[in-house]
């Protein structure tokens, strides 16, 4: 049974990781680039220099919503170990003289690529086709949308091909995550999907997840697998624990990050997460739907702004 002292030591180790990732000296360039990532809502975000974390601004409404649901969100992550909901590590309010307070949230970066050059696609999916196409010239790092996804899948039939076992596992965790979001009255969230070409090493060069263990001499061929198993792909992510200066193994914050968001089919590595879920079915969203559906005549069933039950049904 873990004592308070053990827990406190774990927190100290994790704060060291956070400090290393979020050091102002190391993140100066990332902050300056934040304006280039500004969203349509006027918010902005930036990655930590090691790309382990995302720091983004949030509205008063989002902060209140998050604080209200936080105990239930934490319980959900405890219950659904492989949850795809992007994890929140902290929320802060920055106050400066002569300026309005700014709320920021610290979240995990669920798309930590093994090799950035091996990235093929990034999709932001909402199950809607109205204004859901990224136009113009694109690169592998361009965030594409639902229509682009259908076009890519049509050109490459095995783009998201998985075994029956993996499909069942993925469908189950998405169903449980979406059921939670629906119970909280949330909608307009996105399924973030990154697809990376997997570098398959010869069996003799593969590594297992455990620290200090040598790779098995007879490794099985690549197969569909979630990255919570002891696989060679798991070794590309942070290990669950690390040995500190006194020789004791301590919990690493990496165990909370990214492992549940990755799976492979032998040819590709898939990064998948549910993001931007702090959107409640409030007066603003209802007004937006009324404007687009009634005034502008758009198909209400195909819009992304729909009530939580209908929105959740798209992901189940």
- For the chain, 316 residues long, the average pLDDT of each consecutive 10-residue run is 46 59 60 52 73 88 94 93 91 88 90 83 90 88 92 90 84 96 94 85 47 38 40 36 42 48 82 93 76 69 78 89
Separation in Å, CA 78 to CA 71, 91, 107, 252:
11, 20, 17, 17
C-alpha gyration radius of the chain: 21
- Structure confidence at residue 166 (pLDDT): 82
Predicted TM-score (pTM) of the model is 0.73
CA nearest to 178, candidates 83, 49, 36: 83
Q: 104: exposed, middle or buried (C-beta count within 10 Å: 0-12, 13-18, 19+)?
A: middle
- Structure confidence at residue 297 (pLDDT): 64
CA nearest to 251, candidates 259, 241, 237: 241
- Structure confidence at residue 27 (pLDDT): 56
Helices 4-22 and 24-32 pack at an angle, to 10 degrees, of: 50
- Structure confidence at residue 236 (pLDDT): 35
CA nearest to 187, candidates 79, 97, 251, 280: 280
- Structure confidence at residue 211 (pLDDT): 30
- Structure confidence at residue 167 (pLDDT): 86
CA 5 to chain CA centroid, Å, is 31
How is residue 295 written in tokens?
């005034």
Residues 30 and 49: beta-carbon distance below 8 Å:
yes
- Structure confidence at residue 84 (pLDDT): 95
Helices 164-183 and 60-79 pack at an angle, to 10 degrees, of: 130
Q: Using the 8-state DSSP alphabet, how is residue 295 labeled?
A: I
- Structure confidence at residue 261 (pLDDT): 79
CA distance 56 to 78: 24
Residue 225: other Cβ atoms inside 10 A: 20
- Structure confidence at residue 42 (pLDDT): 58
- Structure confidence at residue 77 (pLDDT): 92
User: What helix, strand, coil percent values describe the chain, rounded to 5?
Assistant: 40, 20, 40
CA distance 243 to 113: 24
**Full set of structural domains in the chain with CATH:** 4-199+258-313 (3.30.810.10)
């Amino acid at each position: 049974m873990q004592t308070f002292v053990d827990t406190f030591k774990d927190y100290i180790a994790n704060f060291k990781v956070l400090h290393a990732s979020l050091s102002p000296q190391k993140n100066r360039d990332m902050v300056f680039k934040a304006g280039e990532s500004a969203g349509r809502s006027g918010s902005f975000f930036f990655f930590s220099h090691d790309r382990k974390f995302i720091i983004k601004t949030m509205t008063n409404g989002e902060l209140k919503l998050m604080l209200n649901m936080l105990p239930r969100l934490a319980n959900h992550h405890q219950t659904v170990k492989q949850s795809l909901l992007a994890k929140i590590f902290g929320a802060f309010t920055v106050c400066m003289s002569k300026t309005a307070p700014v709320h920021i949230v610290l979240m995990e970066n669920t798309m930590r690529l093994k090799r950035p050059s091996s990235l093929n696609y990034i999709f932001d999916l909402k199950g809607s086709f109205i204004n859901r196409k990224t136009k113009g010239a694109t690169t592998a790092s361009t965030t594409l949308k639902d229509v682009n996804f259908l076009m890519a899948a049509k050109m490459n039939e095995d783009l998201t091909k998985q075994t029956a076992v993996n499909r069942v596992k993925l469908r189950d965790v998405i169903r449980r995550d979406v059921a939670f979001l629906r119970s909280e009255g949330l909608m307009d969230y996105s399924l973030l999907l990154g697809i990376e070409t997997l570098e398959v090493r010869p069996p003799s060069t593969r590594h297992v997840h455990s620290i200090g263990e040598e790779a098995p001499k007879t490794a099985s061929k690549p197969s569909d697998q979630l990255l919570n198993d002891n696989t060679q792909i798991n070794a590309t992510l942070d290990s669950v624990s690390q040995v500190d200066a006194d020789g004791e193994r301590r919990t690493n914050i990496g165990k909370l990050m990214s492992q549940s968001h990755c799976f492979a089919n032998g040819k590709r590595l898939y990064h998948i997460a549910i993001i931007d879920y702090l959107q409640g079915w409030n007066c603003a969203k209802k007004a937006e739907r009324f404007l687009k559906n009634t005034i502008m005549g758009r198909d209400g069933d195909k819009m992304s702004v729909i009530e939580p039950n209908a929105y959740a049904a798209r992901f189940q």
